[in-house]
Every structure is written in structure tokens, then in C-alpha cells.
Amino acid sequence: MPACCFLIVLLVFSGFSTCHGHGTENETVLGNSTVTPLLLVSFDGFRADYLKKYSFPNLEKFFSDGVLVDHVSNVFITKTFPNHYSIVTGRYAESHGILSSNMYDPDANKTFSLSNDFDSFWWEQATPLWVSIQQKGFKSAAAMWPGTDIKIHNLTASYFLKYQHNVPFQERVDNLTKWLSQDLVKFATLYWEEPDYSGHLYGPDNIKEMTKALKQVDDHIGYLIDKLNQTGLWSNINIIITSDHGMVQCAPDRLIRLDDCIGPKNYTLVDMTPVSAILPLTNVTYVYDLLKKCNPHMKAYMKEDIPDRLHYKNNRRIQPIILVADEGWTIVRNGSLPRFGDHGYDNTLPSMHPFLAAHGPAFRKGYRLNSINTVDIYSLMCHLLRLEEQPNNGTFTNTKCMLASQWCVNLPEVIGIVIGVFMVLTTLTCLIIIMKNKGPPSSRSFARLELQDDDDDDALIG
Ligand SMILES: *[C@@H]1O[C@H](CO)[C@@H](O)[C@H](O)[C@H]1NC(C)=O
Ligand SMILES: *[C@@H]1O[C@H](CO)[C@@H](O)[C@H](O)[C@H]1NC(C)=O
Ligand SMILES: *[C@@H]1O[C@H](CO)[C@@H](O)[C@H](O)[C@H]1NC(C)=O
Ligand SMILES: *[C@@H]1O[C@H](CO)[C@@H](O)[C@H](O)[C@H]1NC(C)=O
Ligand SMILES: *[C@@H]1O[C@H](CO)[C@@H](O)[C@H](O)[C@H]1NC(C)=O
Ligand SMILES: *[C@@H]1O[C@H](CO)[C@@H](O)[C@H](O)[C@H]1NC(C)=O
Ligand SMILES: *[C@@H]1O[C@H](CO)[C@@H](O)[C@H](O)[C@H]1NC(C)=O
Ligand SMILES: *[C@@H]1O[C@H](CO)[C@@H](O)[C@H](O)[C@H]1NC(C)=O
Ligand SMILES: *[C@@H]1O[C@H](CO)[C@@H](O)[C@H](O)[C@H]1NC(C)=O
Ligand SMILES: *[C@@H]1O[C@H](CO)[C@@H](O)[C@H](O)[C@H]1NC(C)=O
Ligand SMILES: [Zn+2]
């Protein structure tokens, strides 16, 4: 019996302390030649529930032999640049400085846009993973991942393609795999504009067009796997396929027109929709008061009142007033709906979440996880690359169960085991009692004798 109790205690304990790292490898001993290369892939705007609504034969093959995370909670604002930079830095937007697609920095009096993103100044509030790994003496390769073609702390990726949206996926993969075949290249990034592009153009509710776009995305995943297989990289590379954000349907009857509420000379519009960045040119309180009551489907925040949970406040590149549209609503100055699908909304909305899949020697096979955060991906990657983490907002324990080297038991399993063991023990105990009671008369009287002896003892002690 004591041995069994010990077993229960052990099981319960291991359950609540979850995911023990076992045999944490000695990094000094292993040296650097044993670091398995890591390929990080992003398909822009791949909303998590596309996986449930459309068919992805190649992607399904990929994660059925690896890991699938159904939801990734991304960072606010749920746009491309902030989230791609969060993936490779592990930080919220306010802590890495890439706050949106359009920014203004009042101290430097500089502006940033997707077509004017080359100034290192914008990128150096954090250090992306490819720079850290190069500072360690390794090399990185990049095919169009935001920021990789820009000097950050004096380094671009070791090998990179200059951003050009019209370079076909196959060419990006072909050039990247050539670089990946080199010894010192340990970290590679690959970016593709779909299904974001089609999501904006048609809206995610356009089943016909999205079916086409998503079939192409899955074909691209098939091409990538084949290419890695042909070049002999497939069996010795860890691959993460993820995305930056989701997409939601917009409509002409869900428009918020700022010109209806406030004269355009009152402010500079630094960023448009669905999160507007407002730099007031007249009295701030006056501008805020006009915007606050502009439309019930839009919230106006003074910078200091932006909710903490958004982690979108502590940076001088956030303007004095921001406007946040409700899901599916579009902010314009005047005029009509610019596009049928959009993202950028509150990061708690499931429609804004992407997914994550992983495959390779480091990952468990056929493992499924409900959710992680975008900022958690960085420390997972650092672990895979045996790289020291820079200060960040992620948590390694959120992702460690994805790894084959970690021993993980989840809570339902533990409860099941404990209940199972308990039932077996109870049954055994009952059986023993029954057998004792059903024993031959001689042994029964002997048992009674024992009991009487016990009673005597008790009386003596008492
Ligand atoms: C790893 O091994 C080296 C050499 O044996 C040793 O000096 C070092 O302390 C070890 N590190 C850890 C974390 O065990
Ligand atoms: C900021 O830069 C713009 C043009 O880039 C210039 O017109 C303006 O005077 C500058 N403002 C300040 C305060 O330096
Ligand atoms: C890894 O090995 C290469 C060559 O063997 C060396 O140049 C590089 O500095 C090493 N990097 C680390 C992190 O040890
Ligand atoms: C930046 O890198 C170049 C070589 O690419 C080097 O000559 C220069 O000294 C570096 N600057 C700093 C500040 O590290
Ligand atoms: C990819 O590599 C080929 C062959 O080296 C080269 O001709 C081509 O320009 C590269 N593509 C890009 C986008 O740099
Ligand atoms: C890799 O190629 C081999 C030989 O063509 C094939 O048998 C295997 O199924 C391929 N593996 C994957 C994952 O596609
Ligand atoms: C600011 O907006 C208000 C309300 O639309 C308008 O009456 C006023 O003229 C505007 N001020 C400027 C400087 O444009
Ligand atoms: C700014 O506007 C508010 C509200 O309209 C007003 O109470 C305040 O006096 C104004 N401040 C200045 C400096 O004009
Ligand atoms: C709509 O906004 C644009 C840009 O601010 C402006 O040039 C145009 O005159 C506005 N049109 C109307 C009808 O107000
Ligand atoms: C996020 O990480 C940065 C860098 O370590 C840190 O300065 C910041 O306070 C963190 N944010 C939160 C909300 O913990
Ligand atoms: Zn987009």
C-alpha cells in the first residue's frame, strides 16, 4: 500500500509540474556542428480556421508527422510587420518598435511606410534572431521575410533576396535551399504574400476565390517539401510553418467616415484602418472629444488610456490618439470601401489568429496543441538553435511540449491515470477484504483474535 500511495503522489506531482526537461543537453560538449538548421516559413494572412474550412493535403501530411497548434494569439496591432517582427524577437510591438505599416516618430521627425522601410532606425529597438545567430558566428539566409534585407545593428541576413513581391514562390525556395545547403547556415526565413493578398481582394467569406488561393498555398507547401527532399535537407531540418495574422470580411455598410465627424485640418492621419493613428494639430482634448462620439463601432483612446492588455502604449511611435474599429468595420476619411477583407483588429478576436505547424527531428510526431502566443515562438527557436535569448515577452514552457526531448503529461491524462490507479487499488482492497472474510473458519477466528489483541493494545495505550 505505501508503495502505491507513493506512485499516486508521483503521478500527481509530475502532472502539476508539467513538462520536465529531461537530459538537458550540455551545449558546450555538443559544440556547434550538431545544431540542426531551422527554417521559419510564413504564409501571410493564413487565418487559423481556414484549416477547418478548406482542404490542405500537403500541409496536413506535414503536421500529421509533426505538430499542429490550432491558434496562435498574435500581437496588437494584428498587421504584417508588427507580427513578423514579434515572431523573430519575441516582443510585443511596443517593445520592438515596428508598430504598424505606417509610422511617425516625433523625436526623429521620420516616417515609415511599407515602401519606405529601409532606415535601420526603425528596426533597432530589438534584435531579430538572424542577427543574434550571426553574431555567434553562424550564418542566416532569407527569402523576403520583413526586415531581412535591411541593416539591423549593422547586419542584414547573411544571404537574402531583396524584397520584390513579384518573385515567384518557386524561385524563393530554389535560392533559399541553395544557401541552406551550406554548413554554417543554421537559420532561414521564407515569406509568401498569400493568402493575405486574396483575403484582402475578395474577403475571406468568398469561398470560391479563397478555395483557389488556398489550394495554391498548399501546392506551394508541397513544392517546398519536395525541394527539401530532393536536396537531401528534409530529414535533418526543423521547419516551422506559421503566419502573422488572420482576415475578416468587410462590407460597404460597415464604413466609418472620419470626415463626417471632424474637419481634416484638425489632425494628421499617420495610419488609416482598422487602427487609426491620429496626430492632433489642434487642441488634443477637442480632437479626442469629436472622435470619441464619431461612431459606435469605433473606440477612441488617448494614448495613456490604451488598455494594458494590448501592450500598445509604451513607445513614442504611438500617436497621442488611436482609433480602433470593431471587427469587420473600416475607417476611411470619406469615399467608399477600399477592400473586402482586412486585419489589424483586436488581437483577442479568433478571426485575427493564425496557426502554427512544425516538423523535424526536434518535434514530436502527431502532437496537437490548442494555443500558444506569437511571442512564444522566439524562445522555442532559440532553444532549437541553442542560442541565448535576448530579453523578450515569450514563455518557453508554452511551447516546450512540442519538442520530442521534453517529457510532457497533460492534466486530463494525469487525472485519468490517478482515477484509474485509484479504482484498481479500491478493487484490490475490496477483494482482499472479501477473501479474508470468506476464508476457512479457523483463519476467521484467528483474525478475530488478532482484532481482540489490537483492541487490548489500544486500551492499554489509551
Ligand atoms: C558542460 O560540459 C563542460 C565540459 O565537460 C563543463 O565544463 C560545463 O560545466 C558543462 N556545462 C553544464 C551546464 O553542465
Ligand atoms: C519634419 O520633416 C518635414 C519633412 O520631412 C519638415 O517639413 C518639417 O519641417 C520637419 N519638422 C520638424 C519639427 O523638424
Ligand atoms: C562554429 O564553427 C565554425 C567553424 O567550425 C566557427 O567558425 C564558428 O565560430 C563556430 N560558432 C560557434 C557558435 O561556436
Ligand atoms: C558595420 O559593418 C561594416 C562591414 O560590413 C564594418 O566595416 C563597420 O565597422 C561596422 N560598423 C559598426 C558600427 O559595427
Ligand atoms: C535566384 O538565383 C538565381 C541563380 O543564382 C538568380 O539568377 C536569381 O536572380 C535569384 N533570384 C533573386 C530574386 O535574386
Ligand atoms: C522523398 O523522396 C523519396 C524518393 O523520391 C520518396 O520516397 C519520399 O516519399 C519523399 N519524402 C517526402 C516527405 O516527400
Ligand atoms: C476641426 O473640426 C471641426 C468639426 O468638424 C470643424 O468645425 C473645425 O473647423 C475643424 N478645425 C480645423 C482647424 O480644421
Ligand atoms: C481644449 O479643448 C477643451 C475641450 O474642448 C477645452 O476645455 C480646453 O480649454 C482647450 N484647451 C486649450 C488649450 O485650448
Ligand atoms: C476626401 O478626402 C480626400 C483626402 O483627404 C480629399 O482630398 C477629398 O477632397 C475628400 N472628398 C470629399 C468629397 O470630401
Ligand atoms: C516585454 O519585454 C521587454 C524586453 O524585455 C520589456 O522591456 C517589457 O517590459 C516586456 N513587456 C511586458 C508587458 O512584460
Ligand atoms: Zn494584409
Which of 256, 331, 334 for a ligand 9 pocket mutation test, highest count of atoms within 8 Å of Cβ?
A: 334
Give the pLDDT score at 446.
45
d(CA 297, CA 283): 24
SS3 288: helix
SS3 240: strand
d(CA 88, CA 98): 12
Picking from 94, 100, 84, 53, the residue whose alpha carbon sits closest to that of residue 271 is: 100
Atom of ligand 9 nearest to the CA of 334: 1
Atom of ligand 7 nearest to the CA of 264: 14
Cβ of 26 below 6 Å from ligand 1 = yes
Q: Give the residue ranges of DSSP H helices in 54-193.
A: 57-64, 80-89, 93-96, 129-135, 169-180
Give the pLDDT score at 1.
45
Give the pLDDT score at 31.
56
CA distances from 422 to 6, 12, 418, 425 (A): 12, 12, 6, 5
Which of 219, 229, 236, 237 for a ligand 6 pocket mutation test, highest count of atoms within 8 Å of Cβ?
A: 229
- Cis, bond preceding 338 (omega within 30 deg of 0): no
Q: Give the residue ranges of DSSP H helices in 169-283.
A: 169-180, 196-202, 207-230
CA dihedral 422, 427, 428, 430 (to 10 degrees): 120
Residue partners of 373: CB distance under 8 A and separation at least 6: 72, 73, 74, 394, 395, 398
Q: What residue ranges in 330-378 does DSSP mark as E strands? A: 330-332, 341-342, 356-359, 367-373
For residue 347, give the amino acid letter.
Answer: N
Give the pLDDT score at 439.
59
SS3 content of the chain, % helix, strand, coil (to 5): 40, 20, 40
For ligand 5, atom 6, the nearest C-alpha belongs to: 175
Work out whether strand 330-332 and strand 255-257 pair parallel, antiparallel, or are unpaired.
parallel
pLDDT along the chain (462 residues), means of 10: 46 40 40 84 98 97 97 98 98 98 96 94 97 95 97 97 96 97 93 98 98 98 97 96 98 97 96 97 96 97 97 97 98 95 98 98 96 98 96 96 87 83 91 80 47 42 38
Instruction: Please return the burial class of 461, using the count of CB atoms within 10 Å of its CB with bins 0-12, 13-18 and 19+.
Output: exposed
Q: What backbone phi and psi angles, to 5 degrees, belong to 240?
A: -115, 125
User: What lines the ligand 8 site, CB under 6 Å?
Assistant: 283, 285-286, 289
d(CA 102, CA 84): 15
Ligand 9 center to residue 82 CA distance, Å?
29
Give the pLDDT score at 23.
38
Which active-site residues does the annotation give? 80
d(CA 405, CA 391): 24
Instruction: Please return the burial class of 244, using the count of CB atoms within 10 Å of its CB with bins 0-12, 13-18 and 19+.
Output: buried
For residue 279, give the amino acid letter.
Answer: L
**Residue with cell string 539591423:** 152
Atom of ligand 7 nearest to the CA of 265: 14
CA distances from 323 to 70, 100, 311, 346 (A): 30, 13, 15, 11
CA dihedral 252, 98, 158, 383 (to 10 degrees): -100
Give the pLDDT score at 183.
82
User: What lines the ligand 5 site, CB under 6 Å?
Assistant: 161, 167, 171, 175
Residue 306 C-alpha from the chain's centroid: 23
For ligand 3, atom 2, the nearest C-alpha belongs to: 32
Nearest ligand to the CA of 394 is: 10
Give the pLDDT score at 33.
66
Cβ of 291 below 6 Å from ligand 7 = no
Here the contacts of 301-308 (C-beta below 8 Å, separation 24 or greater) are none
Give the pLDDT score at 15.
39
pTM: 0.84
Give the pLDDT score at 22.
38
How much is the CA Rg of the chain, to the nearest whole Å?
29
d(CA 340, CA 328): 9
d(CA 161, CA 156): 11
Work out whether strand 298-302 and strand 275-280 pair parallel, antiparallel, or are unpaired.
unpaired
Q: How many CA atoms lie within 13 A of 84 on its CB side?
A: 24
d(CA 69, CA 372): 7
Ligand 5 center to residue 224 CA distance, Å?
17
Q: What backbone phi and psi angles, to 5 degrees, belong to 399?
A: -115, -10
d(CA 94, CA 126): 11
